[in-house]
Each structure stands twice: as structure tokens, then as C-alpha cells.
Structure 1
Amino acid sequence: MLTNLSIDNYALIDSLEVSLDAGFTIITGETGAGKSIFLGGLSLVLGKRADLSSLRDKERKCVIEAYFQIKDYGLQSFFKENDLDYEDTTVIRREILPSGKSRAFINDTPVTLDVLTQLGERLIDIHSQHQTLRLTENDFQLKLIDALADNKVRLQDFRKTLTTYSSTKKQLEDLIDFQNNALKEQDYNDFLLTELEAAPLKEGILEELEEQYEQLNNVELIMEELSKGDQLMNDEQIGLTSLLSELKGTLSRLSGFGKQYESLYQRIQSVYIEMDDINTELQAFQDNIESNPELLEETSAKLQSLYNLQKKHGVSEILELIKIREELSQKAFETAHLDEKIAIKTRELQDLESALEEQALVLREKRNAVIPSLKQQLEQDLAHLGMPSASFHIQLESVDTFKGNGMDELSFLFTANKGSDYGELKKVASGGELSRIMLIIKAILAKYEKLPTIMFDEIDTGVSGEISNRMADIMKEMSKDMQVFSITHLPQVASKGNHHFKVFKTDTSEGTQTNMRKLSNDERVVELAQMLGGNEVSESALAHARQLLN
């Protein structure tokens, strides 16, 4: 439950801090006093989006902090899933900076607005006049029936299967689209694949062929230069081999006269060995090289083929051609096996459809089982709230499409008078009637949804007298199991609270400010008297107020 709330620099609130208790808490104040500002501040800390207009002083940040006692509400898994530190007393803080940037914290850990909203929905249900209009929506009405039918786990299972079904359906559609496109492109792709498979594609092949082509194309020049090299090496008069041999002999004779001569000899010996190897290779090259026009033509053709393939596919590397070949090969394989894949995926989809239909049928049976008792309870409670002829016609009809909550269309019709035709709530129910229906529904839901706190914002709009007294009794009864707040203009409702806060405005040198404080018993008498008879409090109004409180 909500135990403390502090609001700093928000709208007309300069600084406000209140401590809150369990039970039934009343919040009153004159029209325009700022009750909606208090509610707006609370909504911000629960995840509502904010803007710079929230700041009272545009130079300071707005800070709203709320303390919640959550020990008994099984929220540990939420904290674990979102990597948050769990505390029995959890603190939520929201900051709006002068720059317009917003920050949110749960137990001092920064969180996104989405995470804050998810936690807020588990802590407080703020019922506003806007939410009363939700009563007229089928999704909300079906949520009520599912709560009574204890369908929470079944709905989770259905939605999980529906997610798998949607994913599988998309995969099947993609396969069929791929097959249609693949069949159109198959002949051309097969031609490209055949062409690439015929080419000698391997890493480094282009450089290898270009080198071979240069050698074959310049064979006469190479032969001429090799011959010249052989002559320089082996000429009897000036050949390098002969001269090095003679130098080696000279240094050999010197090597015994000292280490420096021995070192020279070793070095010339190494040079001689290297020159001998070079001479051997030169002669081998000479023996093996020959003109080969056929091989030159073949090499030229291979090169041209590779160049043409690079140009055709718009690439500059052989590795890119290899990748394209592999992709075309994979496409060809997939195309050849598409019928089999489509058949398998079709069977998967059919199995999922059957599972969804079975799950939807169970949901429908559970819903139909509770509809009679819901109808009876609604009509019985509304009779207690001054609508003895109110009647509901609630019926489920199966549909062929899978929806997020099953395969049902809900018909939730209402009439307030005997003999009148049933109609949709939004068309036939007045504001006061909707408020009463919504209060009853909230009271029913409270028994099934373990929500710590609920806040009613003028849910008694459009009613008065004894009916408002009975609505207050319902809220007070709800407060035995949860923390209940009611923002009200009606003294009959205000008198039923365990605690009573008043919102009021004060004018200072710095401008108008909204404040909120808890009333003592004597102050409650005066507040109720003013609600009954206006600011001029009479003895009769005070007596009536005391009677209401007692």
C-alpha cells in the first residue's frame, strides 16, 4: 500500500509531504483547489508521461517520491525479471528536469518509463472518469468475466500459443512467397550457377593465372634473359662462378693466418654456395622453359572468363564470386526442398490452430459458467444502489478469428428500466448509472485481483443522498482488504472514511499554492458542514455533520 507521498515543485504544489494509512481515506476540497493536481503528481510517479508544464519553478527540477509497503503482494518475481533490488518498503522516485528530461528510479535504480508503468499498474489502480468510459469497452467487460472465471493462466497459455501461431504463419507465408519468386528466377539462377561452377574458382586463382599468362606471353624475353644470366655465371674468362671459385681459393689459403681471414673465408664460402644454387636454378629454368601457344591461349581464355564473371556480378574479388556461387547453390537446394518445407510448416500451423481452438473453447466454457452469477450480482447490487429495474443481457458468441483473448465476441447489454430495450452501455446508461456500475465492478474485481491500493476520483459523480451513502458503504467494505482512496464532493461519502485529507489553496507573495493536510475529528465536522451547507456554517449543518460521522 501507499504509505508516504512527497511532491516538490509540481504545478501549484511547492512542497507537499503526506503520510497515508490503510483503510478508507477521503480526499476533499473545493472545486479548483487542486485535487486533480495531487492526482496528477501521483500519476507521474506511476509512469505517466510528463513535460515542462509540470514544473512550478522552471529553474528547479520537479521531484515526486512515493513509498509503498509491498511485502504481501508477491512482487519479488517482477523485481528479479527487471534486475531490480527488492525491498519490502519500495521507493519510487520521478524527476522532471528543467531541460524537459525525465528520470525514474525504483529503489534508487534508474528504470525506463515502461518498467515504472508496469510496476505502477501492480501497485495502484487510479479510477478516473475517463476509466469509467472504459466500462463501455468490450475488452474491459471481458476482463471482468475472465477475472471471475479465474482465466489468468489460461489466457497466458492461449497468448503464448497465439504468438507461436503468428510466427509460424509468417514463416509459412515467407516460404510461399520465396517459392513463388524462386520459381520465377529458377532458370536464370540455374544458368548463373552452372556458369560459376564451370569456372575455376578458388582463392588466389586470379593472381596465379595472371602470373602464368605473363610468363607464357613473354617466353622469348625470359629465355633471352636466362641465357644472358647463364653466360654471366659460367663464362670461362669472366664468369661469376669461375671468379668466385678463384677468390674462395685465395681466401682459403689465408684462413690459417688468423681469425679475421677465417671469417672472410667463411663468408665467401656462403656466397659461393648461394651462387652455386642460383646457377643450378638458372640452368633448370632454361631447360624447362619453352614456348606453348596452346597453354597461353587456354590461360588467356580462363582469365577472360573470370574477368567477365566479375563484371557480370559487379564484384572485384574471386572470393565474392565464390560467395555468390554458394548463395546460388543454397537457393537451388532450398528451392528443390521448398515443397517439403511448406508441407511441414503447414502441418505445424494446423496443429497450432487446433491447440488454439481447444484453448479458446475452454476459455469460453469457463466464461459462460460465471456469466449467470455475474449478471445476478450486478443486478442485485445495483438494486441496492437505487436501480431496482436494472438488467443485463450478457452473451458470448464464438468467432472464426483468433483474438488476443480467445475466439469470443462479447455482447454486454443493459437496460435501467422495465420494458425498455437492451442497448450498449455507452448508449443507454447515464453518467450516474455508469458510476454505480463501475463501482460494483471494481468491488468485484478487488476480490479476485490482489491489488494493494485503489483510488476513486469522483466515482460518485451523478448520484446523491442515500445512493451515495450506499456507494460509500461499498468502498468502505472494499477497504477491509485493500487501501482505498476516494476523492469526493459528497458529505455522505466523506463521512465514511477512516482518514480525511483536505486539499486547499493559499495565496502567498510568491503566488497561489496547493496544499493538503489531514483533518482532525473536529476539523472533519466543519469540513462536512461546509460540504452540506456552504462556507457559512450553521448549527444545523454542524449537527448534521456530527450525525453523519457518528
Structure 2
Amino acid sequence: MLRSLHISNYALIDTVDITFHNGLNIITGETGAGKSIMLGALSLILGERADLKAVRDSGRKSVIEATFELHDYKRLKEYCVANDIEWDDNVCILRREIAPAGRSRAFINDSPVTLDLLSHVAMLLVDIHSQHNNRLLASPEFQLSIIDTLAGNEQLLADYSRRFVAYRRALKRLRDTKKLIEQNRQDEDFTRFQLEQLDAMNLEAGEQDQLEKDRDVLANITEIKSTLGGALDSLSNGTSNAIALLGDAMEYCEQLSQVLDDADNIVERLNTVHIELRDIADTLSDFDRDLNADPDELEAVEQRLNDIYSLQSKHHVSSVEALIELRENFRIKLSSLENSSYTIEELEKEARRAKAAAKEIAAELTRRRTEEARRFEKLLCDTASPLGMKNLRAQVEITTGDMSSTGMDTVEFKFAFNKNQPLMPVGSTASGGEISRLMLSVKSIIASRMQLPSIIFDEIDTGVSGDVANRMGLMMRDISRSIQVMAITHLPQVAALGNAHYKVYKIDDEDATHTHIRQLDREQRIDEIAVMLSGSTVDAAARANALSLLSASNN
């Protein structure tokens, strides 16, 4: 349940800290006192857009914090754990901060979260029902959700959703494959021509790099052979070459080895160098021998490269490896055309299997919805009858059609409020007061199934009075036995039924108007209900009436 609410620097509120209780919490106050401000602050917890104008003091941030007590709330725990939200089995604290510059931040249990996460968690904790929400009763989606909630279809809907998504994916694969095959078929002749052209080239990975090196060598062969000749002259071919001079040095050192210690080591080292130089000279000689100025070979290399460059330009690639990959893709594309009939047949089978699997659960949803609709019709009439709607007739029409994300059904609620009146959609036949009483009846019916800690009714009793108002209050008190209820009301009959009573009021000082809220003790509560009964003047008769209402509600 919602245990406490903190609001600071928001609209007319400097700072408010309020503790709520189990059961039915009543909130009253004069029109314009600031009850809507509290709901506006709570709506920020539900993820609504922050309005910078609501920040009272532009020099500091606005803070709204709601603390909820929890007891084994598995659904919320699973959601928080799945989304890496800090979890506490006993409490959940939601906070929204609005900086003076307009930047908004959201927190769950003091950990920063996105606004979407805050909104989703808040909707699992509290339901705020205001007068404009009554229009939901005419929404087919809301009507379907009521039937599903009462039928306990949550797990079945989750199973159906998974199968429906699988069916949609199978259909998409089938459509995409058909489109690709048709496109490939249109391009088949051109694709085959391109493949034949690439096959004729007989390309090999790494070929381009080697050809470019060969071309550079063949194009500069005269200069290269001249350079090789100079190197060979210096090493072995010249009249005074390195190898000959090194041989002379070896002879001198051999003579020195006869008179100097360790001179043998020098001779061995020179011999090693001599062998290495001769090996280098042999290698250079091989290079020189193998290099021949062959114009035909250079022309062949350049022609091969030109053919490769031409293909790369045509296909907008920059390497032989990319051309090879393209060649294999063409081959796969043509092969897929040859097997296209089999491919389409298999994808169609997969789509049919997925559709059948989804329809199986959709049919079970239809059966359960139809059964629940009949029960709901009677239960709604029985529930609403004490609220001055004794002639109410209700019908839930379920029409089965194509599959959608929620099954194969569309739902429409039809009502007749008077004898001999035809059944009509709720938006076409009900007054504002009738819709309010219908919605309260619906909330009463589904309260035990809502799995929510708290629900807030914002003047849902507007437009009713007398005994009907009292019965609406009793219905809200009945709901509060399942979940915590907070009711903002102007009706004394409803206010007298609360387990706790809070008053919202304004105080003016020299500079500004300030909204406050306080919990009333018994005497203050008698005075507040007396004011609601008689207006601004509270006399003994008004207090007596208020006391009578409170006593009757306790009984």
C-alpha cells in the first residue's frame, strides 16, 4: 500500500509529508484548495511530463516521493529483477525530481532509472481513477481487459502473445523470401551472365597483390638489372670485390694465428662472413638470371590487372577477395532459384503451423471470455443495482474475427438503464453520473483481481447524492478490504465512511498562497463533515448530523 507521500516545492505546496493507512482514506477540501495539485504530483510518479511552471521556487528542485509497503508482490519483483532495478521485499520508494532548469530525474529505491521504468513500476503499484478515466468504459480495449482480468487470462494471454509473435515472424520470413525470390527471378539472366564472367576470370585470393608486384618489377627491369649488376660487381664480379678482399684478409689472419693467441677465432669469424657473402652473391645472381626484359609478359600482367580493375569498378569493390565473395553469392542466388519452390513450401508449412498454434490458444481465450462475459453481465447488474440502477441491463458482445495481438475477439459493452430501452453502447446511452456508477461497480468487481496495492478515486461520486452517494461510499469501503483506497470526495456520506480522513486547505501569508494537508482527529473530522453538510456555518445541528453519519458508518 501507499504508506507515505512527500511533496516539496511543487505548485502551491512548500513541503507536505503525509502518512496513509490501510483501508479507506478520505481526502476532502474546498474547491481550489489543492486536491488536484496532489494528484498532479502523483501523476509525475506515473511518468507524466513534467511542467516547469509547477516548480514553485525556481531556485531549487521539486521533489515528489512515494513510499509503498510490499508483502510478497511477485509480479513487481519479477519485473524489477528482470530490469536490474534495486529490489527490497518490504518497501518500494519512487521519486521524481524536477530541476529548476527543467531537467527531470527518476529513482526507484534511490537508484536512478529511466522514466519508462518508473512509469511501469508505478502502474504496478497504484491506479489513479479520475473523472476523465470514466471515458475508458467506452473503450473496446479497456472492456476486453476487464473480461480478461476477471477470467484470469494473464498467463494464457502471455502464451498466446508468444505464439502470435512467432506466427507474425513466420509470415514475415515467407513474405520477405517470396519478394527476394521474385526479385532474383527478374534478375536471373543478368545474374547468370555476371557469374559466367566472374567464373571465366578464375580469380584466386591474393592474386592482385602478386600481379601488381610483378608489374612493378617488369616495368622497371632495366634499372633493376643495372642495380643487381652493381651489387654483384661489388660482391663478386668486379676486379676488386668484397669476396676477394675478404679472402685476402683471411690469409693475413691465418698468418697472425701462428703468432697471436685467439687469432684462430678471427679466422673462423671471417670464414662465416665469407660463406654468407657468397650465398648472398649467389642469390643475387639467381635474381639477375631469372629477370628478363619480356614485353609480352609485362603486357599479359597489365592485361590481367586491367581485367580485374574493370570488374572491381563494375561491381563497386576494391579487392579480388570481394569479387570472389560476390561470385559465390551469385552462385547461391541462382541455386536458391532452383530450390525456390521447396523453400516457399517449407516456409508456408512453418507459417501454417505457427498460425494453428496461436489459434489454439486464441480459441481457448474466446471460450473463457464468453463464459466470463455471461457471469460479468449478471454480476455488474447486481453490483450496480443498489446504486440507483435497478433497471440496468448489461450485455457483453464478443465478436470473433481475425487474429490480433490480443486474440481473435473484439468486445463491446451494451447497456440499457430504463425499462423498454434498447441495449446500446455505453458511450451512446449513459449520463456522466451513470458512467461513474458503472465504473465504480466495475472497479469493485475487479478489485480483488487487480493485484495493485493502492487505488485512488478522484471525485468518482460527482453527480450523485443522497442514498446513492452513501452506497457508493459503502462500495469503496468494500473495495478497501482488498486493496488500499484513497477517495477524494465532496460528499459527506462518503467522507463519513473512511478509516482515516485528511483535509487539504490553503493558507495565505503576505507573499503567497500555500497548500497544506493534515490528518483529522475525531473532533476535527466531525467539524469537517459538518461543514460539508451545511456549508461554512457549523452549528450544533450540523455537528449532530455529522456525528450521526460517523456513528452510522462505524456501525
- Alignment TM-score > 0.5, same fold: yes
Q: 2:388 aligns with which of 370, 374, 386?
A: 386
Q: Is the 8 A contact 1:79 1:86 kept in 2?
A: no
SS in 2 for 1:418: coil
1:105 paired with 2:107, answer yes
**Matching residue of 1:13:** 13
Amino acid at match of 1:70: L
1:475-505 deviation per Cα after TM superposition (whole angstroms, max 9, x unaligned):
1111122211110011111111111101001
1:204 to 206, 212, 226: 206
State the partner residue of 2:166.
164
Which deviates more, 109-118 or 132-141? 109-118
Structure 1, 282-291 or 179-188: larger mean CA deviation? 282-291
- Tell me, yes or no, if the aligned pair for 2:215 and 2:298 is still in contact at 8 Å: yes
Greater alpha carbon shift after TM alignment, 412-421 vs 423-432: 412-421
* Residues 51-200 of structure 1 mapped to structure 2, 5 A cutoff: 51-74=51-74, 75-83=76-84, 84-200=86-202
Q: Which residue of structure 2 aligns with residue 497 of structure 1?
A: 498
Cα distance, 1:193 vs structure 2 = 2.7
Checking the alignment, whether the CA contact within 8 Å between 1:165 and 1:352 is kept in structure 2 is yes
- Gap change, CA 1:406 and 1:211, over 3 Å in 2: closer
Instruction: Name the counterpart of 2:430.
Output: 429
d(CA) in 1 for partners of 2:315, 2:261: 67
For residues 392-411 of structure 1, what are the structure 2 equivalents within 5 Å? 392-399=394-401, 401-411=402-412
Conservation of the 8 A alpha-carbon contact between 2:72 and 2:89: no
Write the deviation string for residues 87-106 of structure 1: whole angstroms up to 9, x where unpaired. 30222221111121111111
Whole-Å Cα distance in 1 between the matches of residues 41 and 234 of structure 2? Answer: 99
AA aligned opposite 1:210: E
288-297 or 192-201, which moves further after superposition?
288-297
The equivalent residue for 1:309 is: 311
Counterpart in 2 of 1:39?
39
- In structure 2, relative to structure 1, the CA distance for the partners of 1:267 and 1:500 (3 Å cut) is same
1:271-318 deviations in Å (ceiling 9; x for gaps): 432332233334444554556555444333222211222222333333
Larger displacement relative to structure 2 (424-433 or 251-260): 251-260
The corresponding residue for 1:354 is: 356
> Are the aligned partners of 1:530 and 1:536 in contact in 2 as well (CA < 8 Å)?
yes
1:506: how far off?
Answer: 0.5
Return closer, same or farther for 1:454/1:266 CA change in 2, 3 Å cut-off: same
Q: Structure 2, unaligned stretches of length 5 or more?
A: none
In 1, are the aligned partners of 2:25 and 2:502 still within 8 Å (CA)? yes
Shift of 1:328: 3.3
CA contact (8 A) 2:232 2:238 kept: no
Contact 2:30 2:505 in 1 (8 A): yes
Matches within 5 A, 1:202-351: 202-216=204-218, 237-238=239-240, 240-258=242-260, 265-266=267-268, 268-285=270-287, 287-290=289-292, 292=294, 294-351=296-353
The Cα of 1:232 is off from its aligned counterpart by 6.2
Amino acid across the alignment from 1:418: K
CA distance in 1, matches of 2:97, 2:284: 84
Change (3 A) 1:2 1:284: closer
- Structure 1: which amino acid aligns with 2:448? K
Q: Does 1:451 align with 2:452?
A: yes
Q: Distance in 1 between matches of 2:28 and 2:183?
A: 68
Rate the CA distance shift 1:291–1:522 in 2: closer, same or farther, 3 A.
closer
Q: CA deviation at 1:358?
A: 1.8
User: Residue 420 of structure 2 aligns to a residue in which SS?
Assistant: coil
CA RMSD of aligned residues (A): 2.4
- Distance in 1 of aligned mates of 2:259 and 2:318: 64
- The total of aligned residue pairs comes to 549
Contact 1:526 1:537 in 2 (8 A): yes
Q: In 2 relative to 1, CA 549–181 (structure 1 residues): closer, same or farther, beyond 3 Å?
A: same
What is the TM-score of this pair, normalised by structure 2?
A: 0.92
Percentage identity across paired residues of the two chains? 38
Partner of 1:488: 489
What CA distance in whole angstroms lies between the structure 2 residues aligned with 1:133 and 1:81?
A: 34
- State the Cα distance separating 1:263 from its structure 2 match: 6.3
Aligned counterparts of 1:146 and 1:519: Cα–Cα separation in 2: 40
User: Are residues 3 and 224 of structure 1, via their aligned partners in 2, closer, same or farther at CA, if it must alter by over 3 Å?
Assistant: closer
- Aligned-residue offset at 1:137: 0.6
Range with greater deviation from structure 2 (420-429 or 285-294): 285-294
How far apart in 1 are the matches of 2:173 and 2:238? 83
**Aligned partners of 2:440 and 2:115: how far apart in 1?**
29
Following the alignment from structure 1 to structure 2, what is the Cα–Cα distance between the partners of residues 480 and 226?
A: 103
Distance 1:267 1:387, change over 3 A: same
Q: Are 1:175 and 1:338, in contact at CA under 8 Å, matched by a contact in 2?
A: no
| Post-superposition offset of 1:439 | 0.4
State the AA in 2 paired with 1:510: D
1:47 maps to amino acid: G
SS at the partner of 2:187? Answer: helix
Tell me how far apart the structure 2 counterparts of residues 178 and 379 of structure 1 sit (CA, whole Å). Answer: 57
Whether contact under 8 Å (2:77, 2:87) holds in the other structure is no
Q: In structure 1, what is the Cα distance between the partners aligned to 2:21 and 2:229? A: 109
* More moved, 440-449 vs 75-84: 75-84
TM-score, length-scaled by structure 1: 0.93
Q: Does 1:442 align with 2:424?
A: no
Mapped to 1, the partners of 2:92 and 2:293 lie a distance apart of 90
- Indicate how the Cα distance of structure 1 residues 236 and 221 shifts in structure 2: closer, same or farther if over 3 A, else same: closer
**TM-aligned CA distance change 1:541 to 1:288, over 3 Å:** closer
Measured in 2, the distance between the counterparts of 1:547 and 1:488 equals: 19
Matched position secondary structure for 1:407: strand
1:466 matched residue in structure 2: 467
Deviates more, 1:373-382 or 1:272-281: 272-281
SS of structure 1 residue aligned to 2:247: helix
| CA gap 1:265/1:367 in 2 versus in 1, 3 angstroms | same
The 3 A distance-change label for structure 1 pair 252 and 326 is farther
Distance in 2 of aligned mates of 1:236 and 1:228: 9
Counterpart CA distance in 2 for 1:131 and 1:545 is 31
Aligned to 2:529: 528
3-state SS of paired residue (2:422): coil
Secondary structure in 2 matching 1:370: helix
Aligned CA distance change for structure 1 residues 476 and 215 (closer, same or farther; 3 Å): closer
Segment drifting more, 331-340 vs 484-493: 331-340
**Contact 1:128–1:456 (CA under 8 A) maintained in structure 2:** yes
Q: 1:293 to 1:463 in 2, by over 3 A?
A: same
Evaluate the alpha carbon distance shift between residue 435 and residue 224 of structure 1 in structure 2; reply closer, same or farther with a 3 A threshold: closer
Q: Deviations over 1:170-189 (max 9, x none)?
A: 12111111112212223222
Aligned to 2:539: 538
8 Å contact kept, 1:431–1:462: yes
Paired with 1:227 and 1:341, the residues of 2 have a C-alpha distance of 66
Closer, same or farther in 2 for the Cα pair 1:545/1:334, shift >3 Å? same
Superposed CA offset, 1:431-485 (max 9, x none)? 0000000000000011222221111101101111110011111111111222111
Offset at 1:220? 6.3
Classify the secondary structure of the residue corresponding to 1:542.
helix
